Each structure stands twice: as C-alpha cells, then as structure tokens.
C-alpha cells in the first residue's frame, strides 16, 4: 500500500477509484491490485476499516475480548491492503463524480469519470475509468422528541468512541431502540465498565410473529449462535425493558431523563446519556447524486441502489459493493467488494469473461451463504409506522434546519406537496450541511402519511454534487479545464 498524505501526490488517472475503506472497499482494492488495475482507495476517516472495523490498526483497546473476534477479523483485510501497491488516501472526501468531458465539452470515449477529491482544505480533480462505491451504511435516523440534545448519540457513535479511542460514556446511560446492534452494544459497553441503567427495546410484539416463518433459516445461519447467546445473556445481565414505545428525551441544555410507555404504563428514568439505535440502512448519497437507479427495499424499509449480478449500478462504470448496495454485514461486504473488483477488471479487458466467471463463482456461493438468516433479522427489526412517523408535533425532523413534524405535515397538506424534492423548496429540509442524510428517510414517511400513499410512491431526495460540503475557495483554487472555462465564458 502506498499511503498518500498530500493530495498533490495522488495520480491524475486511475483505472479504478474506490470510495470508502470499510470491508467492501478494502477487499475490492486488494483484489483490483492483484488483477493489475491502477487503484486509488479514498476514505474520509483517519485510518482504514470503515465503521465496523473502525481504527483497527490504531485502537487503544488491545485486549481482544473487549471488541470481540468479529472485530479483529478485519485485520486480515487491512493486511491484504498493506501488501498491495494500491494508493490509499485517508481523510479524503470524494465530493463529486461526473462523466469526464474533453476540451470541446464532449464525453470522452471510452467513458472516464472526473472525480473531485478534497483533503485537508485542498481540492483536486482526477480521472478514473471506473468507480466502486463502498460507502457502507448509516444508522437509520428515527426522530424522537429531544434527540438533538447534547448527550444523545447513536449507539454506533458510542461504539466508534470505544473502538477508536477506548472511551465509554460516563454517568447513567440508556440504550434505546430496536435492532441487532442494541444488545451487542449494551453488552460491550457494560463489559467496558459503562453504567447502563436501562436498555429500552422498542421492537413491537407483532414483529416476532411476522418473522417466525424465517426462523428456521436463521437458526441455520452464521448469526444464530451468537445472537441466541447474546439474547440469553441479556435476560440475566442487562436491565432490559421490552416492547416499550413513545420514547421522549427531556432536558434543557443536555439530557436529563427519558420518558417512555412501558406496556401501558408511563415511566421516566433519569440519565446522562441516551444512545439510540434503529438498525442500519444503505448510505445512498453518492449513488443517488450519480443518478444510479434506486429501488424501495421493503424488507429493510429503505431506498437501495439497483445493482446487477456483477454489482454494477444502472450507471455504466459505477459498481456498488458492500452494505451500500443492501445490508448484509461485514463478511458479505468483503466478498461483494472482491466480486466488484473482478467485474471491473473484466470490464476493462484485463481478464476475459471466462476467468471472471470462474473467479467469482465461489464468491457468489459465499455471498448466498452469508445472506442466510438475514430475512429473519430484517423482519424482526423492521421499523413500524408509529416509530417512523412521530406523533409529537414538536419533534425535530430536519436537524440542520430545525424543521418540526407539524411544520412538515402542515406544508404537505396546505401546498399539496407530492415528494421530498418539492418540500425542500418550501422548508429547506435537505438543504443544510447534512444534505438530507438525517431527515431524508423521515420526510418521505410524513409525506406518505399525509398523502395516504405507500412510502415508495413518494420517492426520495435527489442529491446534487458536491455531495460533501466544500469551500468556494477550494473550488476556485483548482486548475480549470478548457471545457470548464468555455462553459462560463462568452
């Protein structure tokens, strides 16, 4: 691996640019290198690993049992990358990807992409024949009253603090929500010495019944043993409260307590931290900005990019691997990363179709095996409408622009708003710095509710480049192509 710390040392051209150094990106980079592609792996974090293997090369938590063996499996992926000659650039944001034009403004043949990078306040445009988006997942944002108070974080954030810095929340901590990570994190934090005063499980009763038909498949899967152990352990060692609803976090400057409905009884618990978790959904921002086709995946209740058997999106030359193309966990992400790299090598003519097929056959089998049990987990933790459509009118939905549930409901009704892109013009939802990452999935719920249609009919936010904030100064100081000058000069 060739670690690049200065943006000027990144080459002008690559066969392949991979966005994101989690399991999918790491595996794709090492494989692409083996197949002879010049490859750039660009990642916005300080060190490789993505979120699941966050800080795996630098974590101060050296005792392996604390973060668990599933975490340390990631080391093999980083070692493969280190052995390669891939250009790896950390702290680098990919803020735009567009088809490249020649000086007369025509598309270059064969297709190239112009990739906008920014590192420590300096921007560059480089070119790539193909891209693999390995941008992973985000935690599903589920607005509850008080979720913007300092002291409220996602469960994933607390896990990141533990992995990368060996930190645990100090004071009375409550973990609330629904999803496989809930118990895992509660157990991990408790073993790390945190004071967990309650775990508030919001998975509704009906979900288990609905998931039952998938139970047999789950029990044969790689998750089963681990999941059941955790469940058994939680009964004895964690302060669990199950099937709670109506979470509401209260405090003036920071968290003071959480109110909730405990099977019909209103309760409240005083606390210093609330860690929320409602499962994870694909991070679709870059795919959406590139115009890749998305489909509504009801099993996880989220928009997901459409990819073909070779993990190519609807935009030729753009592959999507890992959880960003459908949630299936880290081992599956690595397998899919490899497959995407093999497909890229074939598309660029470095290997023939027969070798592509032979190389990917075992990987496809692995991907199928790793997907086992997923349907049960997805169904069990599928969020229900009352969770996603906050009834408290003052709940903040758009954190950046501080737009509340009632405002959205009113505007949708009064102005007959059909979708999130129209609402943006009225309420600025999706126009703050997070560019709709935090509100996009809730806004479509509220619009669907008011219009009385299913969520997928409402559509999704269309993102525009730049997909990460970049200063005008950075853009202005970039060398401009003749085509770009021609576009604005008369």
Query: What residues make contact with other proteins under the rule CB under 8 A?
Result: 44-46, 51, 58, 60-64, 66, 91, 121, 138-139, 147-148, 150-154, 156-157, 160-162, 164-171, 191-193, 253-254, 272, 283, 399-402, 432-434, 437-438, 469
Structure tokens at 51: 């979120």
DSSP 8-state symbol, 277: E
Residue 186 Cβ vs other proteins, minimum distance, rounded to whole Å: 15
Residue 429 Cβ vs other proteins, minimum distance, rounded to whole Å: 12
Q: With respect to other proteins, which residue has the nearer C-beta, 143 or 329? A: 143
DSSP 8-state symbol, 388: H
DSSP string covering 68-83, please? -HHHHTHHHHHHHHHH
Residue 150 Cβ vs other proteins, minimum distance, rounded to whole Å: 4
Structure tokens at 438: 């935090």
Q: With respect to other proteins, which residue has the nearer C-beta, 80 or 272? A: 272
| Matching residue, tokens 């607005």 | 143
Buried b (16+ CB within 10 A) or exposed e, 121-140: eebbbbebbbbbbbbbbbbb
Given a contact cutoff of 8 angstroms between Cβ atoms, the answer to whether 113 and 99 are in contact is yes
Q: With respect to other proteins, which residue has the nearer C-beta, 364 or 399? A: 399
Q: With respect to other proteins, which residue has the nearer C-beta, 394 or 480? A: 394
Residue 27 Cβ vs other proteins, minimum distance, rounded to whole Å: 20
Q: With respect to other proteins, which residue has the nearer C-beta, 165 or 385? A: 165
Q: With respect to other proteins, which residue has the nearer C-beta, 32 or 152? A: 152
Q: How far apart are CA 225 and CA 370, in angstroms?
A: 14
Q: With respect to other proteins, which residue has the nearer C-beta, 275 or 346? A: 275
Given a contact cutoff of 8 angstroms between Cβ atoms, the answer to whether 39 and 15 are in contact is yes
Q: With respect to other proteins, which residue has the nearer C-beta, 86 or 274? A: 274
Residue 445 Cβ vs other proteins, minimum distance, rounded to whole Å: 19
Q: How far apart are CA 216 and CA 144, in angstroms?
A: 34
CB neighbour list of residue 264: distance below 8 Å, 6 or more residues apart? none
Residue 168 Cβ vs other proteins, minimum distance, rounded to whole Å: 5
Residue 371 Cβ vs other proteins, minimum distance, rounded to whole Å: 25
DSSP 8-state symbol, 434: T
Q: CA dist 272 to 53, 147, 172, 246, 262, Å?
A: 27, 13, 5, 19, 20
Residue 355 Cβ vs other proteins, minimum distance, rounded to whole Å: 37
Given a contact cutoff of 8 angstroms between Cβ atoms, the answer to whether 174 and 200 are in contact is yes
Identify any residues that bridge with 259 across adjacent strands, giving them in sequence order. 248, 268
Cα-flanking dihedrals φ and ψ of residue 229, to 5°?
Answer: -60, -45
Q: With respect to other proteins, which residue has the nearer C-beta, 172 or 338? A: 172
Residue 24 Cβ vs other proteins, minimum distance, rounded to whole Å: 16
Residue 171 Cβ vs other proteins, minimum distance, rounded to whole Å: 6
Q: With respect to other proteins, which residue has the nearer C-beta, 160 or 483? A: 160
What is the torsional sign of CA 118, 125, 33, 134? positive
Interhelix angle for 353-371 vs 330-347, to 10°?
170
| Matching residue, tokens 């690559």 | 14
Residues in the chain, overall count: 490
């Amino acid at each position: 691996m060739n670690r690049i710390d200065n943006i000027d040392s990144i080459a002008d051209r690559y066969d392949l640019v991979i966005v994101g150094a989690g399991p999918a990106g790491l595996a794709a980079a090492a494989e692409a290198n083996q197949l002879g592609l010049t490859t750039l792996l660009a990642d916005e974090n300080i060190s490789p690993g993505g979120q699941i293997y966050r800080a795996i090369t630098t974590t101060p938590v050296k005792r392996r049992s604390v973060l668990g063996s599933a975490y340390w499996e990631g080391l093999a992926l980083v070692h493969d990358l280190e052995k390669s000659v891939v250009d790896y650039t950390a702290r680098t944001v990919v803020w735009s990807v567009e088809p490249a034009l020649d000086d007369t403004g025509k598309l270059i043949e064969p297709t190239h992409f112009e990739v906008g990078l920014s590192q420590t306040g300096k921007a560059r445009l480089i070119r790539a024949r193909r891209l693999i988006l390995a941008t992973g997942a985000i935690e599903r944002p589920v607005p509850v009253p008080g979720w913007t108070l300092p002291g409220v974080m996602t469960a994933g954030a607390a896990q990141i603090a533990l992995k990368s810095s060996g930190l645990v929340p100090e004071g009375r901590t409550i973990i609330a929500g629904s999803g496989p990570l809930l118990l895992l994190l509660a157990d991990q934090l408790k073993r790390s010495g945190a004071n967990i005063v309650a775990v508030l499980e919001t998975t509704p009763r009906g979900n288990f019944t609905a998931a039952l038909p998938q139970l047999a498949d789950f029990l044969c899967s790689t998750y089963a043993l681990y999941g059941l152990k955790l469940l058994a352990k939680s009964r004895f060692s964690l302060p669990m409260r199950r099937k709670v609803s109506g979470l509401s976090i209260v405090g003036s400057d920071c968290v003071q307590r959480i109110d909730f409905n405990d099977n019909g009884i209103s309760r409240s618990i005083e606390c210093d931290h609330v860690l929320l978790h409602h499962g994870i959904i694909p991070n679709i921002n870059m795919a959406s900005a590139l115009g890749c086709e998305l489909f509504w995946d009801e099993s996880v209740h989220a928009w997901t990019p459409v990819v073909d058997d070779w993990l190519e999106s609807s935009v030729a030359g753009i592959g999507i691997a890992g959880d960003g193309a459908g949630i299936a966990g880290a081992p599956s992400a690595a397998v899919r990363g490899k497959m995407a790299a093999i497909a890229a090598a074939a598309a660029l003519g470095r290997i023939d179709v027969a070798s592509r097929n032979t190389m990917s056959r075992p990987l496809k089998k692995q991907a199928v095996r790793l997907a086992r049990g997923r349907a049960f987990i997805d169904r069990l933790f599928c969020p229900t409408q009352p969770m996603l459509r906050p009834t408290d009118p003052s709940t903040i939905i758009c954190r950046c622009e501080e737009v509340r549930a009632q405002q959205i409901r009113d505007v949708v009704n009064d102005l007959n708003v059909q979708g999130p892109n129209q609402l943006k013009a009225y309420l600025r939802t999706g126009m703050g710095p997070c560019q709709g990452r935090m509100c996009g999935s809730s806004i479509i719920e509220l619009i669907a509710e008011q219009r009385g249609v299913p969520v997928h009919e409402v559509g999704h936010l269309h993102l525009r480049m730049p997909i990460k904030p970049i200063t005008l100064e950075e853009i202005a100081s970039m060398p401009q192509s003749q085509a770009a000058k021609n576009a604005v000069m008369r």
